[in-house]
Amino acid sequence: MSPVRALRYLYLAYFSAPRHDRLLYRHARNHRVQRILELGLGSTERACRLIELATRASGQRVSYTGIDLFELRGEQTAGVSLKLAHRRLAATGARVRLVPGDPHSALAAVANSLVATDLVIVSADQDRPALEKAWFYLPRVLSPAAVVFVEEPVAGGILLRQMPADELARLAASPGRRRAA
């Protein structure tokens, strides 16, 4: 690894802001992530950084799927348009798929085409009722070694925690979250 790349990784993994994203950067590099699913993109800066680190670590082209409201979000909430997000993410060289919608409707539409996802990130700004319904679809997209990180608002900022597999299974199996046949 070149000294510039090593310094870039050290900066992202240990000194970048926001602080809670550092855990994602370390995970992407150390676990050779190749398929990323993100629910809630924000400014796309984190996604671009994750793709950069994952591409270097795996040596292969990364697949990135982003689910967000994009233009449906409204003026009150920060975020980017679908067109701008695609332009920024495509510049990373990753295979990019952006799906507009809330977590439930968008994930229901694409879950069967998202196989062997290595890393899932759920942003804190997601609509809770839609997210509760979306948990049902998540287990089918995950690889056996997949990791799910969830952002949770706390006093003074955001906490990023790794969701245990048993919690994900419980959320996915909860009554009322399944779609009618």
Please compute the mean of the pLDDT values over residues 118-125 and round it to a whole number.
Answer: 96
Please compute the mean of the pLDDT values over residues 93-121 and round it to a whole number.
Answer: 96
Q: Quickly state the pLDDT bin for 177 (edges 50, 70, 90).
A: very low
pLDDT of amino acid 71: 86
Give the whole-angstrom CA distance, residue 84 versus residue 70. Answer: 10
Residue 23 CB burial class (10 angstroms; 0-12, 13-18, ≥19): middle
Where do we find the tokens 């952002």? Answer: 151
Residues 6+ apart with CB under 8 A from 1: 9, 56
Q: Quickly state the pLDDT bin for 159 (edges 50, 70, 90).
A: very high
Residue 176 pLDDT > 60:
no
Residue 155 pLDDT > 70:
yes
Where do we find the tokens 């062997």? Answer: 116
Please compute the mean of the pLDDT values over residues 130-154 and round it to a whole number.
Answer: 95
Please compute the mean of the pLDDT values over residues 126-145 and round it to a whole number.
Answer: 94
For residue 28, what are the CA distances in angstroms to 31, 34, 35, 121? 6, 9, 10, 12
Give the whole-angstrom CA distance, residue 147 versus residue 164. Answer: 8
Host H or E run for residue 65: strand 63-68
Give the whole-angstrom CA distance, residue 58 versus residue 84. Answer: 26
Residues 6+ apart with CB under 8 A from 8: none
**Domains recognised in the chain with CATH numbers:** 3-173 (3.40.50.150)
CB atoms within 10 A of CB 76: 5
Residue 60 pLDDT > 60:
yes
| Mean of all residue pLDDT scores within the chain | 91
pLDDT of amino acid 142: 96
Give the whole-angstrom CA distance, residue 38 versus residue 60. Answer: 19
